[in-house]
Structure 1
């Protein structure tokens, strides 16, 4: 009597739609469906295959006696597992001897660290056997990270996380790209190996890829207490030099959230591989498993620019984000200054505009910038206070509306007091001054006061001031305060 056929069915990484057409057909046709499960009885393999099962099929749940816990088996853990595999093989053999085809389900690919291997070793020499390959968890992880596993002549290495840490670090250091399987309890030693190999900052963590419980994060940020066995540490390819569009784009985010972001800037951010910027501004942008954020503290503009340019030299698309408009007291100048150094002359740099803080504040109260105006920063960190005084005096004497950036901070308090006193020498005490804070944000406050009534204690670094000219008007309309500067100027 002819025997049944044993099928090793690769189900892919977890999404039922990634089961191959052949696998789905054979699952539906088999008389016996076998799958491994833990002692709680739930089987990931069966969950994935559920859409393709029939109600009248025989199901063989191969329940592991132990996974990682201790056992009282006389042969210890290995003895318990060997006995389990032997008994499971006998159960499947009984069906095969009776002429029934058996489909043994396996997550991922049956011959890639698959649970099917143990049955194959015990049954393949006695029964006709067919292997149906599946999408591996490594391929799925790369797809979710959005970076290739390997390009051109790169060497890709697959490693078990259970290797000794020193051996794992050595192999990671020697390869171009890698995937490390079997994390779980070995996670800390795996992460340490990436760090020792100098590749931790390039590595990604992918958990339960393509399922509803998927998680993707930089490997360095993951809490070891939350890592399951079904996870992968991935070192993807970093070779991007032949891709179009590589370089640095300096992007203005506008003064607050996404409504202030231009479509052009949003596209540049979405297409970037790396986002570089002051940590506060990067928090405005949603995390993406395909992108890497490089946050940094304030006042390190040159270092931030150099990092962006080095990433672009590696063939990556880099977006340097800046609040407001990047060309107004922001990152565009810092990037271009560093980009003019000899080692970066071949890196393309593009600047995309954004809505400025001055425009945002002005729009909230009317049109104080309706005629000629100038923009001055009161910060004397990069220029002497004497230069700021000369410019304020000149702008005041020229009767320009003045938008004042960086009016005060925790350590800079006297500058605004001095500036107000200087302006009062040239402007009427009734001159409107717009005080705008967090325009477009949750703490927005925009109002106008007389120049003489401007209280410097109410002003901080998140505030922008607009000092009117002799023609600027303050009025009430529809129950709210408005400020505008007429377009005509008297002869």
Structure 2
């Protein structure tokens, strides 16, 4: 208890506290030594806690009626000129019962809220582990959330505290396991009170868990060995990858349980990251990727970053697998979705060769450029569509032309990746000519550039007016089908969509 809390209790006429129907109050037990015989005590006893009720308004109705009644009891004392101290374990405005009184009374009577030590801080102190350090993000979660939501939030944060365990413990444990956080998770029961218990969460019997317990996933930075508190960056070359792979091959078996996770960052920055991908990037010891994509990932103490240009996919994949074979947790960073014209193919190709076939490899999906661009424009991919790369660096133009003919002939909307670059200047013009053999000149074409980035632009032109000089490597083209519509709305914005219904012949 704070000094101010003790002072307020000493000066109060009435001491109020919440409890379940058994009448025992943790808040009262904490303050017991400061209570006087002449204190008027108001025990605000909940009619229900977690059980069902026959109240006509259901569980919420029963509680609302109780809060109104409890507030009226306290208001009677206040109207009589008495000072009321409502005591609450932890902090009154942090998942505390007092907040329901505050909403009903604070605007009517002079009120002072005395902050308290939360169970979050108490649990960290008892574990002797920092909750968050440097730029780490601490997330506080109620265990009553659905399992999927818990899993997603645990996967995406640096550190976490899950409250309100008790009957929710099995769900919380599964969410910890599914998010990969179970090995880091600790359990704290009744921190700083009689009956305190601290253990690894994985070792806890669900039948023994009370409501007043929390799970803590503490700071990762705090567990780093001395001297590793900063992120290091190296420039990766083909020679680097070969040297690393050779060293790994000749030094025997791996030193730990490494893995490679191929992570899609979406088309731009953190807003496009999935929670699962965010968690994988935070948990990695090594990040491998094209420099531009690595720059989207926040620097984390202790991580090693291996940057390269965008033309060494196989070498990048081999470096990642070689690091994992030495026991490292490696994230290969890929733009958009890693399985669409990106790094997943390169990693899996190398992973199916000796000596990497035993290395675990996971691919995490990301928002691909086609979907991001389509969303900005409206819904041009609302019906069947094809995704084709116009780059002839890895396949001959004849194959590209054949696929464009086939997709256009089938009246599919088209998402065209890699349409042009400084060294490829004629492909867009050739594709336009080919598509005009199948599509009307006024077919909508969306030019989406730098989606999600600082230079984002989205324009819609007619197919016949598509200017190759306005297209570069950062542009994605979406070509409508014969059914695609473009319209201008009352606010001046233009939207493009492809109907899901097709006209009957």
- Count matched residues: 269
CA shift for structure 1 position 220: 8.0
1:342 aligns to what SS in structure 2?
coil
Asked if 1:344 is matched to 2:385, the reply is: no
Does the 8 Å CA contact 2:231/2:304 hold for their aligned counterparts? no
Which of 432, 443, 449 pairs up with 1:431?
443
Does the 8 Å CA contact 2:380/2:478 hold for their aligned counterparts? yes
Q: Which residue is 2:144 aligned to?
A: none
Q: Which residue is 1:359 aligned to?
A: 371
Asked if 1:375 is matched to 2:387, the reply is: yes
Q: Which residue is 2:293 aligned to?
A: 281
Which of 248, 270, 284 pairs up with 1:258?
270
Asked if 1:484 is matched to 2:470, the reply is: no
1:446 aligns to what SS in structure 2?
strand
Does the 8 Å CA contact 1:473/1:484 hold for their aligned counterparts? yes
1:321 aligns to what SS in structure 2?
strand
Cα separation, 2, equivalents of 1:464 and 1:486: 21
Cα separation, 2, equivalents of 1:266 and 1:220: 22
Asked if 1:267 is matched to 2:275, the reply is: no
Pair 1:400–1:267, CA change in 2 (3 A) = same
1:362 aligns to what SS in structure 2?
helix
Pair 1:242–1:360, CA change in 2 (3 A) = same
Q: Which has the higher contact order (CA 8 A, sep 6+)?
A: 1
CA shift for structure 1 position 218: 3.4
Structure 1 unpaired stretches of 5+ = 1-142, 150-203, 207-215, 222-238
Does the 8 Å CA contact 1:276/1:295 hold for their aligned counterparts? yes
Pair 1:146–1:365, CA change in 2 (3 A) = same
TM-score, normalized by length of structure 2? 0.51
RMSD (Å) for aligned C-alpha atoms: 2.3
1:318 aligns to what SS in structure 2?
strand
TM-score, normalized by length of structure 1? 0.53
Cα separation, 2, equivalents of 1:421 and 1:146: 60
Pair 1:441–1:240, CA change in 2 (3 A) = farther
After TM superposition, the runs of 4+ consecutive aligned structure 1 residues lying more than 2 A away are 143-149, 216-221, 239-244
CA shift for structure 1 position 288: 1.2
Cα separation, 2, equivalents of 1:486 and 1:144: 51
1:379 aligns to what SS in structure 2?
coil
Cα separation, 2, equivalents of 1:312 and 1:255: 26
Pair 1:428–1:219, CA change in 2 (3 A) = closer
CA shift for structure 1 position 388: 0.3
2:355 aligns to what SS in structure 1?
helix
Q: 1:75-154 counterparts in 2 under 5 A?
A: 146-148=223-225
1:452 aligns to what SS in structure 2?
helix
Asked if 1:298 is matched to 2:298, the reply is: no
Q: Which residue is 1:460 aligned to?
A: 472
Cα separation, 2, equivalents of 1:314 and 1:352: 22
Q: Which is greater in Rg?
A: 1
Q: Which residue is 1:440 aligned to?
A: 452
Which of 326, 331, 347 pairs up with 1:314?
326
Q: Which residue is 1:333 aligned to?
A: 345
Pair 1:312–1:365, CA change in 2 (3 A) = same
CA shift for structure 1 position 342: 1.5
1:388 aligns to what SS in structure 2?
helix
Cα separation, 1, equivalents of 2:320 and 2:225: 21
CA shift for structure 1 position 345: 0.5
CA shift for structure 1 position 146: 5.0
